[in-house]
Structure 1
């Protein structure tokens, strides 16, 4: 007969909520319970790992992936527990530490409170510490059943009690599922599990052997709970992603307006001016709800961003070239003003400078002519200010 989770230890209820500082006494109680739970889950998974070695190669292959996922969850939870203990620092908790504890408990697992948990074969999963603990409880129950662990000390009534608790947690999650086919399917699965649990309970009361019935029921209940938690986490992540893309639309729209203003300034200031299409991000429509449509929408925003980068660079470069010519003429003029020049050279330079002033003062500035005149002006100044070589004495 398969036992429930080791020692009947389930994940402790997390105190507080995100953004609400944790009371030090509640934090101490929670960390103590979490320490026991983390150690017990590790012992359970080690027992499963040892049991897997006694299975056939095909059975080992089937269970190894789920065991790897469970161990990944355990490590992420244990890492977060270590951080919590470090911040708690034996009870030396001020307002800053209390708020940090809340963020570590109710923020998402990963390398930081804003990252997702990477799960082998599953990708990333945005779950909080309490959600990850419940998921690991479900995974561990499933693995124990599949590995056929039978300590013999567990009673059917204990396992039925654990099953009832699992189904109640599933029942609490149903209202969180959006109305539609997904909720209907989950409700139907729960109803089937309820009927099977009622049948199991009646059999146990009559003294029948329930060993062959309870294991599959535990697996199915754990899988349903896990799927609902994963789906809830995915919905939360999708909602945040939609909010991020909506914010990105606003940013791209504001940037596009600024680049259009830059385009008008560039067309008015130089000739020839670049001519690039500036996309209208609003033409993409509202941010979609469906994950597949949201992914396609995100790619379109990426293309809009690249187009804006190109347009910004071209128009800014055009204005920068005009400013470079103006700066060069100013620097060369200053160099000529300090040089000892003949009247003829001074007259030539004044003529060239007058032509440059005329070109640079006419809007739009004809860049090709301005570049040529500026180059000629610079070359003439360099020529007339260059020291002449002394003639050698005979």
Structure 2
């Protein structure tokens, strides 16, 4: 199963550019593959007649994927093609290791970092796949054992984060899971069919991994409101800069671009320390978070429209090539005009759409008369 990449650096650290670039590429690949997997799981749930039974699980894992994808967009915008100084690299660290959704939190009020959200998504997707018994043939027992072993290593990392009062219990739980896996591995090595033993272990391991991640996030949320507000504010400041870069890229790429004000986190003033003021301040942070999320989606959608239009023209040209009509003078001139307009900075989208549609019309005319 596709598993999330390991995130570089730590909170507050100016991450090395090469590590950021590699992580962005790996996270983008993981995100695209995971979306395809989730679509496959959704189709399988509907085909098996269990769509209603698994609706809650699917909604949670898809919402989590969307939150991860949104944060990837902000990290990518801050990366800005590698044009990053120390300040930008520190902001990227905050975007990666800070709270994923700011004051809005995750579904159910859970607030996690980007790496935690990815691991949680891995666990939930694995749980869904196990429930639906997808791609679990006897010939794949070795691969499944390898995946469980990797999962137990991730659980080991989470156990290290447990408080002293519960760590011994968590260590014992992990030891029990590992002992079961070794028993299964030995039986598989002797040629036995271990599918009946492996499936319950997979379910229990994914459930335990999810519980550890959720528990760690909840312990963070249980800290004082002042510390939580400071953490949220730092995340919002990083998000504000990222959305501003995203907006600048959008304005430079498309005409007419959306025009939404990016909230100024600095205008909120310092984090108060009195109980009477902190609740109101947290509400302000939440409103700023929602406004940032709204602006991010609008600018990202406008950029995506330009990307999709270029891809559509490419598809039409590929079709023309396959049909042997790409060299037709009308098609050549039509493509030239469309690409010239799409390459402008910013590109007038209404004109570009008409020119791509014109190319499509010429293509239809040529292929119809062949």
TM-score under structure 1 length normalisation: 0.55
Cα offset for 1:171?
Answer: 2.0
Conserved? CA contact 1:20–1:99, under 8 Å: yes
CA shift in 2, pair 1:242/1:210, >3 Å: farther
CA distance in 1, matches of 2:6, 2:67: 18
CA change 1:202–1:151 in 2 (3 A) is closer
Out of 102, 107, 126, the residue aligned to residue 98 of structure 2 is 107
Aligned pair partner of 1:191 in 162, 171, 175: 175
Aligned pairs for 1:209-358 within 5 A: 209-241=193-225, 243=227
Kindly tell me: are residues 127 and 154 of structure 1, through their superposed partners in 2, closer, same or farther at Cα, counting changes over 3 Å? farther
Q: Distance in 1 between matches of 2:168 and 2:59?
A: 31
Unpaired segments ≥5 residues, structure 1: 246-300, 307-394
Contact 1:109–1:115 (8 Å) recurs in 2: no
In structure 2, how many angstroms separate the alpha carbons of the residues matched to 1:115 and 1:244?
9
Corresponding residue of 2:115: 130
> Does the CA contact (< 8 Å) of 1:63 and 1:146 recur in 2?
no
Cα distance per residue 1:241-294 (max 9 Å; x no partner): 37569xxxxxxxxxxxxxxxxxxxxxxxxxxxxxxxxxxxxxxxxxxxxxxxxx
1:17 equivalent in alignment to 2:10 = yes
Cα deviation for residue 14 of structure 1 reads 0.9
1:154 and 1:39 map into 2 onto residues whose CA distance is: 27
Flag the 1:99–1:172 CA change in 2: closer, same or farther, 3 A.
Answer: closer
- What is the CA-CA distance between 1:232 and the residue it aligns to? 0.6
Rounded Cα–Cα distance in structure 2 between residues aligned with 1:187 and 1:46: 35
Query: 1:189 offset after TM fit, Å?
Result: 2.7
- Please report how far the alpha carbon of residue 159 of structure 1 lies from its aligned counterpart in structure 2 after TM superposition: 1.5
The match for 1:150 is 135
Alpha-carbon distance in 2 for matches of 1:103, 1:85: 13
Does the aligned pair in 2 maintain the 1:109–1:116 contact within 8 Å? no
Report the CA distance shift for 1:149/1:141 in structure 2 as closer, same or farther (over 3 A).
same
- 2:106–2:112 CA contact under 8 A, matched in 1: no
Matched, 1:91 2:82: yes
Partner SS state of residue 44, structure 2? helix
Larger radius of gyration: 1
Whole-angstrom CA distance in 2 between matches of 1:169 and 1:202: 22
Structure 1 residue corresponding to 2:51, chosen from 51, 55, 60 = 60
Does 2:60 correspond to 1:75? no
Q: 2:138 touches 2:195 (CA, 8 Å); kept in 1?
A: no
Structure 2: where are the runs of 5+ without partners?
230-274, 281-370
Relative contact order: is structure 1 or structure 2 higher (C-alpha 8 Å, sep ≥ 6)? 2
Question: Structure 2 CA distance, aligned partners of 1:62 and 1:189?
Answer: 29
Alpha-carbon distance, 1:50 to partner: 0.7
Structure 2 counterpart SS, 1:207? coil
CA 37–244 in structure 1, closer or farther in 2 if over 3 Å, else same: closer
1:154/1:115 CA distance change after superposition, 3 Å: farther
Structure-2 separation of matches of 1:34 and 1:136: 13
**Do the aligned residues in 2 keep the contact of 1:17 with 1:102 (CA within 8 Å)?**
yes
Q: Secondary structure in 1 aligned to 2:164?
A: coil
Quote the residue 1:118 is aligned against: 106
User: Is the 2:42–2:51 contact (alpha carbons within 8 Å) kept by the matching residues of 1?
Assistant: no
2:189 is matched with which residue: 198, 201, 205?
Answer: 205
Q: Hey, what's the Cα distance between the residues in 2 that align with 1:241 and 1:134?
A: 26
Structure 1 residue 116: Cα displacement: 4.6
**Number of residue pairs the alignment of both structures matches:** 236
Q: Check whether the contact 2:184–2:194 (CA below 8 A) recurs between aligned residues.
A: yes
